[in-house]
């Protein structure tokens, strides 16, 4: 019996000990604060979305937009059509400067004329020495507070009270950065800035008491950390493409390539594309020691990926025009040398559906964050639990959507070698450009 009592005491002690750790760190914020965080987070992503996503979308499209030719020769005419079926492989190399960008956050300097869109006010000059700022109406409280937050952010950045990371990872990089907005800084800015020039008083002082309360609640519950998207540490992009060619009619070849959606790994997701091109011999019109041809290719691509812990979704549609001026020289029974100058025009439309970062969700009380222990030096260890709607922790159930449009151009210089063995040709080339690409493959002619 004595041993049983001791055992029960120890069980109760340990249960009490661990329950002291396993307590939610943050309480649920008001719906108003959550919506404000969503609006702020949406603008934060829209400001950083292009530099974050652009390197991956451009690199994978440029990598797939290569390997179009391995010779410049096109016969002027043939007795019957010939066909080539080949498999092209491309390896694109990611530059170090494509792995990071300089982040920014929503901020605006105070503009009294713009403030008038959010506050209806008048100036009472009854006492010329002491004019009064009279608020007569607030058309949209949410829009006013979001604008005010951006004004506070601008002042905080201007005075170094809020500091942005010097760099953040693109989707190709590898790092984890966050924007830190201390609550005490926001509280100080709210109460002391901006000054209304006419009355020389902070705007906060002349607001209605109900709005003051709403702002103070929002500041008190507003997340201090907004985690920036993490990169996937991608150094190379690998693509494999089947290609079909038909020739020749008046010195012209038709090129076709197509691949259905293929899963290319966790960091890239599903990628699909198609291409259609025409190649025409120029050297057929004059005497030339080398073969010369011009090729135009139009290609469309589709990229679908889930990004990060929250499974934010990226959809990117691209169209690419490629113009190649090609040169070639055959050394009979030895090698074919070929080279080319390429000009690319890329037009990319990206749709991004994303959720608040899980750390932000925890600070808003949308996810349960508990203390589970301490490090040897006394620092707390936290754990964010999965969504549990039944217990009041649904997570972010209102994803935000934004569009990112990218237009770019690229120049390539291509050098390559090919060798023919009967109906089979193997080739290898290298493209020098913003995205250096090693391309090679094998094709069969019949």
pLDDT per position as a tens digit, 74-123: 998 898 999 999 999 999 999 888 899 999 999 999 887 888 888 888 88
CATH code: domain of residue 311:
2.40.128.90
Same domain, yes or no: 265 and 221: no
Same domain, yes or no: 170 and 278: no
CA distance to 153, 162, 205, 207, 231, per residue, from 200 (Å): 21, 24, 11, 14, 46
Same domain, yes or no: 77 and 220: no
Same domain, yes or no: 434 and 294: yes
Has residue 181 been placed in a domain? yes
Same domain, yes or no: 159 and 197: yes
Same domain, yes or no: 334 and 190: no
Same domain, yes or no: 195 and 276: no
**In terms of residue numbers, what domain contains 166?**
101-227
Nearest C-alpha neighbor of 51 from the set 107, 108, 106, 104: 104
Taking each helix axis as running N to C, give the angle between helix 183-192 and helix 141-158, from 0 to 180 degrees, rounded to the nearest 10: 110
Of 227, 259, 274, which one is at a domain's C-terminal end?
227
Same domain, yes or no: 279 and 410: yes
Give 107-121 pLDDT, tens digit per residue. Answer: 999 887 888 888 888
pLDDT for the residue numbered 154: 92
Where does 38-77 show beta strands of DSSP type E? none
Q: Residue 194 above 70 pLDDT?
A: yes
CA distance to 16, 190, 205, 326, 374, per residue, from 380 (Å): 18, 31, 39, 63, 4
Of 227, 245, 263, which one is at a domain's C-terminal end?
227
Has residue 372 been placed in a domain? no
Nearest C-alpha neighbor of 280 from the set 70, 75, 85, 66: 75
Has residue 119 been placed in a domain? yes
Whether this model's pTM surpasses 0.75? no
Same domain, yes or no: 184 and 314: no
Same domain, yes or no: 79 and 170: no
Question: What is the rounded CA–CA span in Å between residue 186 and residue 179?
Answer: 14
Same domain, yes or no: 346 and 270: yes
Has residue 344 been placed in a domain? yes
pLDDT for the residue numbered 308: 64
Has residue 57 been placed in a domain? no
Count of domains observed in the chain: 2
Mean pLDDT, the chain, integer: 85
Same domain, yes or no: 246 and 203: no
């Amino acid at each position: 019996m004595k041993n049983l009592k001791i055992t029960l005491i120890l069980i109760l002690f340990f249960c009490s000990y661990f329950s002291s750790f396993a307590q939610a760190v943050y309480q649920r914020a008001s719906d108003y604060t959550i919506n404000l965080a969503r609006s702020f987070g949406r603008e934060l992503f829209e400001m950083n979305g292009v530099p974050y996503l652009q390197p991956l979308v451009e690199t994978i499209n440029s990598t797939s937009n290569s390997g179009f030719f391995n010779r410049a020769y096109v016969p002027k005419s043939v007795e019957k059509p010939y066909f080539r079926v080949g498999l092209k492989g491309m390896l694109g190399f990611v530059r170090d400067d494509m792995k990071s960008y300089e982040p920014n956050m929503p901020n605006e300097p105070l503009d009294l004329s713009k403030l008038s869109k959010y506050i209806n006010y008048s100036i009472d000059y009854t006492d010329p020495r002491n004019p009064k700022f009279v608020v007569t109406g607030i058309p949209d409280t949410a829009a006013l507070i979001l604008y005010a937050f951006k004004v506070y952010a601008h002042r905080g950045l201007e005075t170094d009270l809020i500091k942005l990371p010097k760099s953040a990872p693109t989707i190709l990089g590898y790092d984890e950065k966050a924007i830190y907005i201390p609550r005490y800084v926001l509280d100080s800015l709210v109460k002391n800035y901006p000054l209304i020039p006419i009355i020389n008083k902070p705007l906060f002082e002349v607001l209605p008491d109900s709005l003051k309360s709403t702002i103070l609640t929002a500041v008190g519950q507003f997340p201090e950390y907004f985690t920036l998207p993490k990169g996937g540490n991608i150094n190379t992009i690998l693509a494999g493409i089947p290609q079909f060619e038909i020739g020749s009619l008046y010195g012209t070849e038709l090129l076709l390539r197509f691949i259905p959606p293929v899963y290319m790994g966790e960091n890239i997701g599903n990628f699909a594309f198609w291409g259609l091109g025409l190649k025409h011999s120029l050297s057929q019109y004059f005497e030339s020691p080398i073969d010369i041809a011009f090729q135009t290719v139009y290609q469309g691509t589709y990229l679908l990926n889930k990004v990060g812990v929250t499974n934010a979704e990226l959809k990117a549609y691209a169209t690419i025009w490629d113009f190649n001026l090609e040169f070639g020289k055959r050394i009979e029974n030895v090698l074919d040398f070929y080279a080319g100058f390429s000009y690319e025009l890329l037009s990319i439309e990206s749709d991004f559906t994303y959720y608040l970062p899980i750390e932000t969700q925890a600070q808003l009380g949308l996810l349960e964050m508990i203390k589970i222990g301490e490090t040897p030096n006394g620092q707390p260890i936290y754990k964010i639990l999965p969504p549990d709607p039944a217990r009041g922790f649904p997570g972010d159930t209102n994803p935000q959507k934004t569009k990112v449009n990218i237009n770019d151009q690229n120049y390539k210089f291509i050098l390559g070698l090919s060798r023919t063995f009967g109906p089979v040709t193997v080739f290898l080339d290298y493209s020098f450009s913003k995205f250096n690409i090693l391309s090679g493959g094998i094709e069969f002619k019949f």
